[in-house]
Amino acid sequence: MSLATLLLLADGRLPSGGHAHSGGLEPQIAAGRVRDVDGLAGFLRGKLATSGLVSAAFAAAACRRTRQWVDLDGGLDARTPSPALRKASRAQGRALLRAGRAMWPIAPIARDPHQPIALGALAAAAGLTPAEAAVAAAHSMITGSASAAVRLLGLDPYAVHALLARLAPECDRIAAVAAERSGDPVDDLPAVGAPLLDIGAEHHATWEVRLFAS
């Protein structure tokens, strides 16, 4: 295990465009579903159990199966019914690959990949394991939204990071499950849905004024 490399990949300061995305939080705040730290906790737990598990499993699979990126990308596309979320994921994947290629040699991918596929490709190029790729994916699933919550709701950053610390064991558990599934056929990888995120993303895409791209 290369802890320093894993930390580099999971660092929110990596210039991969993640700061421009709330991970679906902005529309949920606008709908009144998230108002405080307790509401944020429920949102993040829900994300981990659904899209977090899917993202972590596909990142781990992309790290393990570097010759199947196109098939894995198609499988993740099929699990992302919202066009707005597909667009946001591919934008983040493109930015992540650009940052990654400045650090490690990465084989070409046919098109702009979904963010978890790009993350798995970077993890493989950096010599990380599928389990480490899953940890990075699950970690980014909650930290990006947590950071956005501080900006959108004016929450106490100390309270938000205390929440992230409480969620760390669950993040590890989701990553472990995802890593165990990383060798499954594409059609058998996790396909847990989060309809409110899909609906919120489509509404959010129509806003004339918004702080985040997604």
Q: 181 by DSSP, 3-state: which?
A: coil
Q: Is residue 178 part of a domain?
A: yes
Residue 137 pLDDT level (bands cut at 50, 70, 90): very high
**What letter represents residue 193's amino acid?**
G
Above 70 in pLDDT, residue 1?
no
Q: Is residue 187 part of a domain?
A: yes
Structural domain count, the chain: 1
Q: Is residue 212 part of a domain?
A: no
Residue 206 to residues 31, 85, 152, 199, Cα–Cα distance (Å): 14, 13, 18, 12
Q: Is residue 210 part of a domain?
A: no
Q: Is residue 213 part of a domain?
A: no
For position 97, which CATH number holds? 1.10.4190.10
Q: Is residue 214 part of a domain?
A: no
Predicted TM-score of the model (pTM): 0.94
Above 90 in pLDDT, residue 16?
no
Query: Which tens digits make up the pLDDT trace of 141-163?
Result: 999 999 999 999 999 999 999 99
Q: Which residue has the higher pLDDT, 7 or 34?
A: 34
* Spatial CB neighbours of 30, under 8 Å, sequence gap ≥ 6: 204
What's the mean pLDDT when you consider all of the chain? Answer: 92
Query: Which tens digits make up the pLDDT trace of 26-85?
Result: 999 999 999 999 999 999 999 999 999 999 999 999 999 998 999 999 999 999 999 999
Above 90 in pLDDT, residue 13?
no
Structural domain span for residue 77: 3-10+17-204
